Amino acid sequence: MENGFDFTGKTVFIAGGTSGINLGIAEAFAGAGASLAVCSRSPEKVEAAVGKLKDLGSKAIGFSADVRDPAAIRDAMKGAHEALGKFDVLISGAAGNFPAPALGISPNGFKAVMDIDVLGSFHVLRYGHEHLKAPGGCIINISAPQAFVPMEMQLHVCAAKAGVDMMTRVLAMEWGPQGIRVNSVVPGPIDGTEGMARLAPTKEIQALVTGSVPLRRNGTPRDVANLSMFLASPMADYISGAIIPVDGGWSLSGAGTAMTALANSMKALPAG
Ligand code: NAP
Ligand code: COA
């Protein structure tokens, strides 16, 4: 039981589940009794994450796989299915980000983020489908406020996460008749994460971000995990195709005021 949720006997696959927010989600599901499969590029991160999940009592397994490589993702999912059974929950959370103005992004830089976020999510969803329980399977895509709040210095990420959210909506329609629900979770600024370290690297920028959150605090991975567990639970049986922020109200900031202020702070940082 974790915050009232019980996923005993359930299997959860998380692409990009080896650090930050996604590992926090994995740990919450593990604490609630689920078996976990995680994958990411770094074998060291995979091994460390699996160790943490096992320490929480989960029957956990991990794979070193890049979401940009469809064969590697197919192999990881096949392995996870064989070890843990069909997935009850499939989470697509791998992403890439760096702050840069549009004219500072090379074609390869833009492609890197599109390939991880959009093409990678497509691979995870496209090939995860055959391993997902139907009816009853639940898919969660990890999005970002950049999907619907335009943000300078984030052209590539805005384009990529908007694509992720549209995949959520289309697949909710295509796969809904099979009893599969598809939703996006939209974290706000989450403390202690790689994303925050990249976009808000100084104390001044961090203070600006926190001050612009209506609830006046940054989020934690557990905040995002709580929404994810709710969406995967029977309490959310009629929720599909939804794009749900867990951001203390951050994305309400009219016309992206707070995010523009954040972007302006990033512009003042040395490039690189
Ligand atoms: P993070 O720790 O860097 O998490 C990214 C995860 O994805 C890691 O496990 C990473 O492991 C994996 N990954 C990256 N590229 C991959 C690839 N090509 N193939 C497979 N796995 C890959 O960052 P985070 O800040 O916690 O972000 C997690 C998610 O939340 C992302 O989807 C991000 O867009 C979203 N988000 C974050 C925030 C925030 O405040 N941090 C806000 C809004 C949304 P490897 O390095 O081993 O590959
Ligand atoms: N500004 C501008 N361009 C940048 C950049 C930056 N800060 N960082 C990387 N790039 C460019 C590189 O220059 C390269 O383009 P080029 O070949 O024209 O020079 C391109 O992006 C790809 O870089 P590379 O390091 O080869 O890509 P990768 O596939 O190894 O890594 C990234 C992908 C760049 C997204 C990397 O930051 C990453 O792995 N991120 C995952 C973790 C993460 O971002 N977490 C936060 C999630 S919110």
User: Which residues of the chain, if any, have pLDDT below 50?
Assistant: none
> Residue 66: what are its φ and ψ, rounded to 5°?
-95, 125
Q: Which helix (H) or strand (E) holds 11?
A: strand 11-15
The fourth-level CATH superfamily of domain 2-195+220-251 is NAD(P)-binding Rossmann-like Domain (3.40.50.720)
Nearest bound ligand to the CA of residue 102: 2
Q: Could you tell me the strand order of the sheet in which 11-15 lies? A: 61-64, 35-40, 11-15, 89-92, 138-142, 181-187, 243-246
State which of 119, 193, 222 you would mutate to test the pocket of ligand 1, scoring each by most atoms of that ligand within 8 A of its C-beta: 193
Write the pLDDT tens digit of every residue in 63-108. Answer: 999 999 999 999 999 999 999 999 999 999 999 999 999 999 999 9
Report the pLDDT value the prediction gives residue 54, as an integer from 0 to 100: 98
- Whether omega before 245 lies within 30 degrees of 0, making that bond cis, reads no
User: CA of 142: how far to CAs of 25, 97, 161, 243, in Å?
Assistant: 11, 14, 9, 10
Ligand 2, atom 41: closest residue by C-alpha: 96
Instruction: Answer whether 150 contacts ligand 1 (Cβ < 6 A).
Output: no
β-strand 243-246 against 138-142: which pairing, if any?
A: unpaired
Instruction: Answer whether 8 contacts ligand 2 (Cβ < 6 A).
Output: no
Q: Supply the pTM of this predicted model.
A: 0.97
Q: Which helix (H) or strand (E) holds 77?
A: helix 70-84
Report the pLDDT value the prediction gives residue 254, as an integer from 0 to 100: 59
Report the pLDDT value the prediction gives residue 255, as an integer from 0 to 100: 53
**Distance from residue 196's CA to the centre of ligand 1 (Å):** 11
**Distance from residue 98's CA to the centre of ligand 2 (Å):** 7
Contact 229, 32 (CB under 8 A): yes
